[in-house]
Amino acid sequence: MLGLFPKLLIDFVDSENGSGLLDDIFRAAGIPKSRGFRENKIYPDREWQRLFSAACVRLDIAPDLMEVAFARYFARYTRENCLSIYSAFLDSKELIANLRSVHRQVIEKYSNLNRAETSLNGFRIDAAPAEGSIIAIHYSSPNKLCRFLEVLARQVTRFYGDDARVEHTAHCMKRGDFECEIHVSWEETPE
């Protein structure tokens, strides 16, 4: 997991609830607070999972709701700090169709990994914009942040002002499936 995520989770908890909770969260996660997650370093997925779980327990919030709140925070962060990603695409359909390359750009921007070392195993995009207005995102990760991805897709469509529907299909790792499937569909506008 790219250090940007745990760092932003810590910033999110701190900004919403004050730093008093952070000591408890780190202690519950079994991670020394001095760890100081750096956004440009890769950390074990298990550390992220323990930190996220401890934050949910300490804040008394269901993991799905935490993913929603964190996705909104993350979207706000990227709009303020990574605007070049948004400005590289004409609309949300184009950005979401290129989600794999956006994921790679974020990893490369915030880490010292080169292109060959950048893992994109978690995403497969079935995009056929020429044939229709639906893009299917296939997501697989031990972190199971599918709700985060669903909300982030919604935030992206709102950023561009696009009329789109985001739907998490019945396929979900949290229900035992190999991957999650999220469909994003746009209203076709007559020319």
Residue 166: predicted pLDDT: 94
Return the structure tokens found at 176.
């035992």
Terminal Cα-to-Cα distance of the chain (whole angstroms): 43
Amino acid 189: pLDDT: 62
DSSP 8-state secondary structure symbol assigned to residue 172:
-
Q: Specify the DSSP class assigned to residue 34.
A: G
The pLDDT of residue 100 is 79
Q: Report the pLDDT value the prediction gives residue 19, as an integer from 0 to 100.
A: 63
**Residue 126, SS3 per DSSP:** strand
Q: Residues for the chain: how many in total? A: 191
pLDDT at 49: 95
Q: Average pLDDT by consecutive 10-residue portion of the chain (191 residues)?
A: 89 81 92 86 90 95 96 93 88 88 71 51 54 80 91 95 92 92 81 59
pLDDT at 18: 65
Query: Which CATH superfamily groups domain 65-186?
Result: H-NOX domain (3.90.1520.10)
Which pLDDT value is given to residue 67?
Answer: 96
Q: Are 160 and 153 in contact (CB under 8 A)?
A: no
Please report, for the chain, the start and end positions of each structural domain, with discontinuous segments joined by +. 4-61, 65-186
**pLDDT number for residue 17:** 75
In one letter, which amino acid is 162?
D
Neighbours of 104 (CB within 10 A): 17
Instruction: Show the tokens assigned to 88.
Output: 């590289």
Identify the pLDDT of residue 121: 52
Residue 154, amino acid: R
Q: How much is the pLDDT for 158?
A: 95
Q: What whole-number distance in Å separates Cα of residue 154 and Cα of residue 158?
A: 6
Exposed e or buried b per residue across 25-61, where buried means at least 16 C-beta atoms within 10 angstroms of its C-beta: bbeebebeeeeebeeebbbeeebbebbbebbbebbee
